[in-house]
Structure formats: C-alpha cells, structure tokens
Amino acid sequence: MDPADEPPSMLWGLDPIFSAFARLFVRDILQMTESTQVPGIYFYNLHPIYKVDVLGTVVYKRERDDFFCYGVDDGTGVINCLCWKSNLLKEAEDPNKSGTKKHSDADHGGFDPVAELKKLRQAQLKRCRLEIGELVRVRGPVKTSRQQREIMASTYYKVDDPVMAIQIAWMMEVPQLYRQFYDKRFQINATGYSAESSINKATNIIQDFLKQKLVTKFRPYDVQDLLQPLISSRHQTQSAEQEPVAGPSGCQQLSQLLKEVLQILQNEGVVYRKVKSQDEMYHVTTQDKDLFIAVKDIIREDSKREKYAEKGCHVLHILSAVRQRYSLNVSKAALELVLKTLECDSDIISTSDSHYIAI
C-alpha cells in the first residue's frame, strides 16, 4: 500500500475497529500491510489494526521455559501464536515450588478448600497446555519478528467443542463481520468523519425496517420517509458550519440517497426486482417464499440426475435454472443468500465448494 494512502495516525481512533480485537482470517492477518507511520500497526482495507481474535486448530507446538509457541490453523492459513506461561504454570512445573503441603484438616469431612483450590488450578493448567489437534482461541496484538507475522497472545485457552457448535457459530459470524465492517474501506473526509457514514446509516435503517416488519416487497416511496431525518440533520450541520450555497434540494438529496441504498441492497442480494418495469417493485430475498421453493425444487430435481448425483449442483447451474424458471433478475448474491438460509435450515447441504445437494 502506498504510504500516501494511509489515514493520518491522529484519526485512527475514529475507526471503531482500531480499539477492538478484529476477527480476521489468518490469511488476511498474514497479508496485512504494516504502517509506515507507527510500527506494529497494520492495515486491512485502510482499517488500522493492531490486535486480533483467532479461533483455530493447533498444528504444531514448541515449548520454552517462559512460553509456548503454537501454530494455529483456521482453514485459511497458519500463524505463530506466542503464548506466555503464567506464574501458576511455572510453579506447577518447578519441583521446588510444587511440593504438596500437609494440612491437618485435609482428612476432615465436608468441604476442603485446599483440595478444591488444587482442582481449580489443575483445570486452569489443563486449558493452558494444548496438544496438536486441539482447538484454541487466541487474542492479542500482531507483531512481525524476523520477517514472520505472529500473534503475541494476551489471552489464550483451549476450547472444548465436541459437536463443533462453537466453530460453526464462528464461521457464520466472521463472514458477516467482513461484509458489514472489514470489507468496507475506512475513509475520512476533511471534517474527520467517515465519508460513507450517511450511506451506511441509511442502509442499516432500511435493513432494520425490512427485518422488523417482515416486509416481503415494497416500492421506494414506502421507505423513503425513513431516511428523511438523515437529510434534515445534514442540512442543520451544513447551515451551522458554512454560508448557504446553491445545491441540490432536500428532496433531490433524499431521492439520491435512497437510490444509492437500494443499489447497495441489490448488490448484497438483500433485495431484488423480480420484474423490471415502470412499477419499481423490490422483493426482499429472505421473505420470498416462492423463490425458496423454486431453488429447493431445482436442487432436488437436478440432484437426481447422474451428472449431479455425486458432487451436487454448482451455484452457477442453480442460478441459470432459477433465471430460466423463476426470474431473469435474480442476482448471484441473492441466490447465495437463499442457499445459505436453506443450508442453515438443513433443507440442503454443500457437498464441496459452491456445490449443493438436497437432503
């Protein structure tokens, strides 16, 4: 990344991701560009990042007197995680300090605080010492040592996940974070505020309305008034900061903002136009039961064919069939949202990358 493209360091705090543990894929952590202004700060889509949160499998380990070094694989790459030993762990390993003390009341009936404390320490030690193949969660700042990217763990622990519920929840949540935050570039205008903030706010307002009201279809004028407060507040800010100048009217700004929001929602597959006509009608993808039925029928019927029986139907084949049988205007993003919902509801399963089969 060109150093000139970096936002000034004094403005990094305006990005909420900067103060959070970013749940990035290991692949992206390894590929992030280090800041030329402040060593130890990295950039992903111009978001300043210095600490991350990773869940993965231990694929190798090294142990030293003061720390463990675990290789953590999250499915996209492997990164070194330097995990310092706690004083409790060092004492347990030191024969001079770990000797058992005799207590005169140890054999008494009832609650034994010494024995319970020992059990607690053993449980803590067990979660701090990991073996290859076990699941670990690591949080901490990112460092580059000897030209190798690694995580200096501030917190790490073994994760018990016998039915993979935690891993599935993680794999569902992280792509959502990418779509909503990480993949949207951090941009700052002259006043120091995000240039995309009004569009993001407007998009969230419309999405929240569609979810809360379970809207199946709508026209632009049905939701236009929801964005009016954003235009009003913008006018108040501009009039307080500068002299009035000629420009687009509030009605024109509202119309343009709504147009941009609807385009974003279409690009993300949240809404689509079943029929493109003068009657500008938008269908909400996740509420379109007929679309869900059409997709399920296509996968169920074509999965029986010898060509797709083993591997399943590719997403592009499903998209082509949906456009032929249901609507020419269904986008790939909308179809992927439908497939994701059907898979979560156990109506279909993905057999491999972008291939699906009916259950």
Q: What's the rounded mean pLDDT across residues 252-281?
A: 91
Distance in angstroms (rounded) separating the CA atoms of residues 93 and 96: 9
244: pLDDT strictly greater than 50: no
Q: Is the dihedral of CA 333, 339, 340, 345 positive or negative?
A: positive
% pLDDT > 70, the chain: 81
Which residues are CB-contacts of 153 (< 8 A; sequence separation ≥ 6)?
81, 82, 83, 84, 138, 139, 140
182: pLDDT strictly greater than 60: yes
Write b or e for each residue in 307-323: b if 16 or more Cβ atoms lie within 10 A of its Cβ, otherwise e: ebeeebbebebbbebbe
- Say what the pLDDT of residue 11 is: 86
Q: What's the rounded mean pLDDT across residues 208-230?
A: 92
Structure-token pair, residue 99: 């000797």
> In the structure, what pLDDT confidence band is assigned to residue 193 with cuts at 50, 70 and 90?
very low
Q: What's the rounded mean pLDDT across residues 306-322?
A: 91
279: pLDDT strictly greater than 60: yes
- In the DSSP assignment, the letter for residue 101 is P
Weakest-pLDDT range from 240-244, 305-309, 321-325? 240-244
171: pLDDT strictly greater than 70: yes
% pLDDT > 90, the chain: 54
Q: Average pLDDT over the chain, rounded to whole?
A: 84
DSSP H stretches of helix in 129-196: 165-177
> In the structure, what pLDDT confidence band is assigned to residue 245 with cuts at 50, 70 and 90?
very low
In tens, the pLDDT along 9-26 reads 888 888 889 999 999 999
- Say what the pLDDT of residue 345 is: 87
- Say what the pLDDT of residue 81 is: 94
The pTM score is: 0.52
CA-CA distances (angstroms) from residue 221 to 218, 256, 261, 321, 350? 8, 13, 13, 32, 39
Q: What's the rounded mean pLDDT across residues 228-237?
A: 68
Distance in angstroms (rounded) separating the CA atoms of residues 52 and 150: 11
Q: For residues 332 and 319, is the Cβ–Cβ distance under 8 A? A: yes
122: pLDDT strictly greater than 50: yes
Q: What's the rounded mean pLDDT across residues 231-239?
A: 58
57: pLDDT strictly greater than 60: yes
Distance in angstroms (rounded) separating the CA atoms of residues 42 and 54: 16
- Say what the pLDDT of residue 241 is: 47
Q: What's the rounded mean pLDDT across residues 170-194?
A: 76
